[in-house]
Structure 1
Amino acid sequence: MQVFAQVRISSPYSLFGVGQLRVGSYNVILMSMGGIRNAMSSPYYVNYSNPASYTAFDSTSFIFEGAVLTNYTNLKTSELSENATYGSLGYILLGFPISRWWKSSLGLLPFSDVGYNMVEEQSLTNIGKTQTAYEGSGGINNLFWGNGFKITKNFSLGFNAIYYFGSIDKTRSVYFPDSLLTYLNTRIINKIRISDLSLNFGALYKKTLKNDLVFSTGLSFGYETNISAEREYLSQTFQGGINSVEYFVDTITYEPKQKGNIKIPTYTGVGFALESPDHWLIGADFNWQNWEKYSAFGYSDSLRNSFDVAIGGYFIPDKHSIHGYFKKVTYRFGGRYSTTYLNLKNKQISEFGISFGLGLPLIHSKSTLNLGFEFGRRGTTSNNLIQESFIKFTLGISIYERWFIKSKYH
């Protein structure tokens, strides 16, 4: 199999399902801690994964967050190796109070990415060599409005109202270079447009223990959602080689506006964290999603249920240090392991990542510049599959500003 690079994302595994999922590790702060998120809350950043966490926002503060992502990937089979680099927008998030017991958030972030360009060669009896070219691009995005409600001193509930939108374009072309006069090349083009609403939910319990330690446990939940979609389907024949001029022959099938659904299955996540505020934190997460229920226009893609576990934390040497800037820096670390929803050649594809990051405080401010790094691997070279080794770098900023407070000095 020959693999080529794509600009926004380069992952042959994004051919399946809705592509490569990004929601779980979108936030640079949480990604730097292995992706722990279900029990995490803070006045200084937005945790979209558990909307109950919004109640941690201060009643007089406003939060803005944004980030950009760069990803270097090495794609390797048992015979070939290629490199790819791409960059993309990470997210834009806002957090703000409605009242003392009701906090809200708005944001835009990616749900999944699709990007691949590869050629597979085979030799068939009585036909000769065949070449199958796969191309794909696009993805699904989330625009959301979230709300968190303080139910008691220690317990919060929340929900996100989500607008799914985006497009996924996939093309599969089959060439018969040894049988040009016998067989016609064929091409199938699938263009899917997504647009629909959904909800997800969260719960968070926080308890202050002895020695000012804080224990947190959180739950996130999303129910099965049938997202409305429209598909343009084209099947055609043509002549010409994979690297030569093509000549259109005939249209076999054309369905310009086929209505259907993409079923996003139920997911559940639970997390635990123990924290000494402004000093250190350690946490763990467990997440499961029922991808065996996935379908797109009635086709299941033979996906499997996914499961991931993450552990991570942070430490700050001395947040209130006067003389040492790096004593006030937040040092983050973590790791994760997951069995993805991909099951290829009777093998479920796994993935792991090791991460670390820095939270650099801005002078005379509670805002921070956040750097995150993750080193990981997805897949394997056995069974003629592809192994992806990646390095992710995310640069983000979290701006914290006070509202409704008059300055004492001018």
Structure 2
Amino acid sequence: MIKKIIVSFSLLLSLVSFAQEGTSSPYSFYGIGDVKFKGTAETRAMGGVSVFSDSIHINLQNPAHYAGLKLTTFSAGGSALNTKLNTESQSEKARRTTLDYIAIGIPAGKFGFGFGLLPYSSVGYKILNLADDTNNFSTQYTGIGGINKVFLGAGYAITKKINFGLDVQYNFGNIETKSYRYLTDVQNGTIEENLSKIQGVNFTAGLTYQSKVDKKHTFFGSLVYSPKANLKLSNERTITVSDQVDEQPVQNLNFDFPSRFSIGSGFGEVRKWLVGAEVTLQSSSDLKNRFDDINGVVFENSTRYSVGGYFIPNYGSFTSYFKRITYRGGLRYENTGMVIQNKSIEDFAVNLGLGLPLNGTFSNLNIGFEMGKRGTKYYNLIEENYFNLSIGLSFSDRWFVKRKYN
């Protein structure tokens, strides 16, 4: 078991080495970047629905689910994103590969604990405006970085039906953006570099409910709340002209991390099928840009709707591997909270996925496919058509058991 974890962890570290930019979206220039974490590979394949309490998977969207773990679980996931960016007159393609999460969940009677790392948001874009007959200047814009979260959480089974959980998250990261402006046929230009160093703490509380409706069917309910939190941004700006570097005075910011409230419910037969829905409300209107002179966008409160579920033909089949596969699907619609050119930026995606059990263990490999569209190519904006491949590894076993024989 330990060997499997070490091998998987090494593979993921190799994945990270190619994943300095977790997004290729020009929209990531605004706010805290493009929010990448939308759940583990299992929940993403169901459109983000996370109401189901699973004893062998870590649910990172509601800390109350830690109390439902029966086995110690190591979970990690990554994704490969292919995006086609369209305007009314141009089209470009981009690819990114990134680590999505690393987490460990540990059961302890009525308690359950979880900790890990989440690359939460990402900035990554490169835009080139070439000179033309009416403009002798060419401009290039680039951005990298993002926010990471280290988290520690615990869940407690209040009753057989109700679990409560709480986790604390430390946010940290750097966001660096550059603009390079130069005249045609002139070697040196002007470079403006902006750097924001980000840190802060926020909390998430969760509640889950699970009750039998009849002998076969179960109702699931979920509540998650994250209060508004404060992030500190240490800002720096330099302007370079002909190798002469000039540091510019800029203000540091206290940045409000939006509050978030999520409610969901589901109905199904455990280890057979589930259908669920979830709504997430976020006070994105509290967001602002990292520097006071960044304009062109305002923020509004965002809403996300998720519908999805899973189906397992025969969980305990000894004769057919395909009957033990978990088949997942879902839909997701989101108003992202950004308003550009008086147009709300919307995101819609279709999800499919497979949960592939590893023979002889409680572990599995989860594969998810996501196809979606964000933004629009009209109103001088950009439409992003993307295809996302997610892979999650979930290793579950009994740890910390004293051996009877050496």
What's the TM-score once normalised by structure 2's chain length?
A: 0.88
The corresponding residue for 1:226 is 230
Matched letter for residue 46 of structure 1 = I
CA distance in 1, matches of 2:365, 2:120: 24
Matched letter for residue 248 of structure 2 = Y
**Contact 1:115–1:138 (Cα < 8 Å) also in 2:** yes
What runs of 5+ residues in structure 1 fail to find an aligned partner? 1-5, 239-246
Runs of 4+ in 1 over 2 A off after TM superposition: 6-9, 119-124, 127-133, 172-178, 184-188, 247-251, 253-256, 258-262, 295-301, 403-410
The corresponding residue for 1:17 is 31
How far 1:14 moved relative to its partner? Answer: 0.7
Asked if residue 74 in structure 1 is aligned to residue 90 in structure 2, the reply is no
User: Which whole-Å deviations, capped at 9, do the CAs of 1:156-207 have from their partners, x for residues lacking one?
Assistant: 21111101011100123344559x8xxx965432101112222111111111
Q: Percent identity?
A: 33
Matched letter for residue 334 of structure 2 = S
SS at match of 2:299: coil
How far 1:255 moved relative to its partner? Answer: 4.1
Matched pairs, number: 383
What runs of 5+ residues in structure 2 fail to find an aligned partner? 1-19
Matched letter for residue 53 of structure 1 = H
**Contact 1:92–1:108 (Cα < 8 Å) also in 2:** yes
CA distance in 2, matches of 1:196, 1:349: 27
CA distance in 1, matches of 2:114, 2:165: 11
Equivalent residues in 2 for 1:281-292 (5 A)? 281-292=274-285
Provide the alpha-carbon RMSD of the alignment.
2.4
**295 and 384 in structure 1: CA distance in 2 versus 1, 3 angstrom threshold:** closer
CA distance in 1, matches of 2:24, 2:77: 20
Equivalent residues in 2 for 1:75-154 (5 A)? 75-98=85-108, 100-120=109-129, 128-154=135-161
Equivalent residues in 2 for 1:7-406 (5 A)? 8-23=22-37, 25-37=38-50, 39-58=51-70, 61-98=71-108, 100-120=109-129, 128-175=135-182, 177=184, 186-236=190-240, 238=241, 247-248=242-243, 251=246, 253-255=247-249, 259-296=252-289, 299=292, 302-403=298-399, 405=401
CA distance in 2, matches of 1:83, 1:288: 32
**272 and 140 in structure 1: CA distance in 2 versus 1, 3 angstrom threshold:** same
CA distance in 2, matches of 1:75, 1:154: 47
CA distance in 1, matches of 2:147, 2:155: 25
How far 1:114 moved relative to its partner? Answer: 0.4
Matched letter for residue 17 of structure 1 = G
Q: Which has the larger radius of gyration?
A: 1
**7 and 145 in structure 1: CA distance in 2 versus 1, 3 angstrom threshold:** closer
CA distance in 2, matches of 1:29, 1:336: 14
**Contact 2:73–2:397 (Cα < 8 Å) also in 1:** yes
How far 1:82 moved relative to its partner? Answer: 1.3
How far 1:312 moved relative to its partner? Answer: 0.4
CA distance in 2, matches of 1:121, 1:343: 26
CA distance in 1, matches of 2:284, 2:398: 42
Matched letter for residue 98 of structure 2 = S
CA distance in 2, matches of 1:250, 1:7: 26
User: Which whole-Å deviations, capped at 9, do the CAs of 1:302-330 have from their partners, x for residues lacking one?
Assistant: 22211110100000001111111100100
